[in-house]
Amino acid sequence: MPTYAICTLGCKVNTFEAQAVSSALKSKGLVEVDFKEKADVYCIFTCAVTNTAESKSRKMISQALRRNPDALMCVVGCLVQIHPEDMKDADRIDLLVGSSGKELIADRVMDLLEDRRQIHEIKDVRKEAEFEGLFTDQFEHQTRAYLKVQDGCNQFCSYCVIPYARGKERSLKPSEAILQAKALSEHHREIVLAGIHTGRYGREYDKPLHDLMKEMLEACPKLERLRISSIEISEITDEFLDLMASNPRVAHHLHIPVQSGCDTVLKRMNRPYTTEEFLKRVAEIRQRIPGISISTDLIVGFQSETDEEFDETMDLLKKANFSFVHCFPFSMKNGTAAQHIGKTVNEQIKKQRAQKVAAWSDLSKKSYELSFIGKEVDVLIEKTTELEGFGHSSEYVPVRVLGNVEKNTVVRVVCTHYEQGMLSGKRV
């Protein structure tokens, strides 16, 4: 039978879509192999959120072509959507699919295996009003499952290309989301709800995110943990916090992008909050959910960012006391409003600021993790050896569990010590 290999770059939404396509290809009789191996079909799910991500996507395409120049090449996702003409000019690519039409990829691959030609399916995603129905019931290569429930973004932050790559906001029907969650919970103890703007889920159905989560937990008794991939500060409602506070199956971790800790930079970024509003809501969350992990995304070196503005960002990091920070040097994207804002910051300065944030993040992460010594946590076991297991707590803290434990189970662990950069403990 023909073999296929998949490479996935970027976000959890991409990972879900790639897994759904993989499941569809297997249902057609194709056999999966590792991306580093020679395959008859290569599917590459690209990312375009930064220039680095674009470069890596192109690199993966080149690597696949070198492994098997005769392979059927399928390139999918945001890079295709943002640069359709560049991709169409690549005569070695057989199937091009943008940010919609992924439910047809398996059928298209089968057609192309019979009749080799080029197919370009790149629609105007801004005109797409319906949520694309992809389905998978298992993530074979990971313990934690992702479930895409939302797509698109209407925010248009000045630095971001994603609204152009993903289109308008739209959501998976609540009934279909429940069915997918039930199917995934037969194989996985934890599900992560993912989206481009997850917190805006269900507005067209009058079904807010917290209501969907409540129904999922009721419908999936085998599910031990429900997690949110990322959520904006303005989307965290009191009802959402009530659910998190009252139901231990909702993970005590929120990844809340702040992007900058300076009001003037936030304004240039077109972010819909001030630093005061952000810090006030973070304090309210911590009061409602003691011990919660709050992490963030941060961009340094945005257009015209001064040393003083960066210093304000460092002050906010300390006040918010994030458990860790994902920091990105600003990457200019063609077609975004940032092209017409301010002056470009020197690349070396961006690098220095990113290093400073990373150093702070490492210290903050360790301090937060050390606070769990002597405490009990529930750990999803993701990897095992004969002597120990490894996984993450509800707060997304990595924990080494000493002794014999079973993969894909949630075990109660008392954290006893910290070694080799990680908490260690034993099963209660």
**Contact yes or no for 190/409 (Cβ under 8 A):** no
Distance, CA of 175 to CA of 219 (rounded, Å): 11
Q: Which of 378, 383, 377 is nearest to 143 (CA)?
A: 383
pLDDT value, residue 126? 85
Angle at which helix 209-219 crosses helix 238-246, to 10 degrees, equals 30
Q: Which two tokens stand for residue 248?
A: 């231990």
Q: Which two tokens stand for residue 242?
A: 């009530």
State which amino acid sits at residue 380: L
Question: Distance of CA 30 to CAs 24, 45, 361, 397, Å?
Answer: 9, 18, 43, 37
Distance, CA of 143 to CA of 227 (rounded, Å): 13
Q: Which of 246, 270, 249, 247 is nearest to 259 (CA)?
A: 270
Q: List all residues 6 or more positions away from 55 whose beta carbon is below 8 Å from its beta carbon.
A: none
> Considering just the CA atoms, what is the radius of gyration of the chain in Å?
22
pLDDT value, residue 341? 96
Per-residue pLDDT of 230-263, as tens digits, reads: 999 999 999 999 999 999 999 999 999 999 999 9
Strands (DSSP E) contained in 95-144 are: 95-97, 119-121
**Contact yes or no for 12/194 (Cβ under 8 A):** yes
Q: Which of 399, 414, 382 is nearest to 144 (CA)?
A: 382
Distance, CA of 275 to CA of 317 (rounded, Å): 11
Q: Is 175 helix (H, G, I), strand (E, B) or coil?
A: helix
Question: Distance of CA 135 to CAs 20, 56, 88, 240, Å?
Answer: 5, 27, 28, 26
For the chain, 428 residues long, give each residue's pLDDT as a single digit of tens: 899 999 999 999 999 999 999 999 999 999 999 999 999 999 999 999 999 999 999 999 999 999 999 999 999 999 999 998 888 777 789 999 999 999 999 999 999 999 999 999 898 888 888 999 899 999 999 999 999 999 999 999 999 999 999 999 999 999 999 999 999 999 999 999 999 999 999 999 999 999 999 999 999 999 999 999 999 999 999 999 999 999 999 999 999 999 999 999 999 999 999 999 999 999 999 999 999 999 999 999 999 999 999 999 999 999 999 999 999 999 999 999 999 999 999 999 999 999 999 999 999 999 999 999 999 999 999 999 999 999 999 999 999 999 999 999 999 999 999 998 999 999 99
Whole-number mean pLDDT of the chain? 96
> What domains, with CATH codes, occur in the chain?
3-123 (3.40.50.12160), 130-251 (3.30.750.210), 253-368 (3.30.750.200), 376-427 (2.40.50.140)
Give the DSSP H or E segment for 58. helix 51-67
For residue 297, list its beta bridge partners.
326
pLDDT value, residue 133? 86
pLDDT value, residue 284? 98
Q: Between the CA atoms of 357, 363, 369 and 373, what dihedral angle is there, to the nearest 10 degrees?
A: -170
pLDDT value, residue 141? 94
Q: Is 399 helix (H, G, I), strand (E, B) or coil?
A: strand
Question: Distance of CA 241 to CAs 211, 236, 282, Å?
Answer: 12, 7, 12
**Contact yes or no for 55/137 (Cβ under 8 A):** no
pLDDT value, residue 187? 98
pLDDT value, residue 150? 98
SS (H, E, C) 218-264: HHCCCCCEEEECCCCHHHCCHHHHHHHHHCCCECCEEECCCECCCHH
**Contact yes or no for 32/6 (Cβ under 8 A):** yes
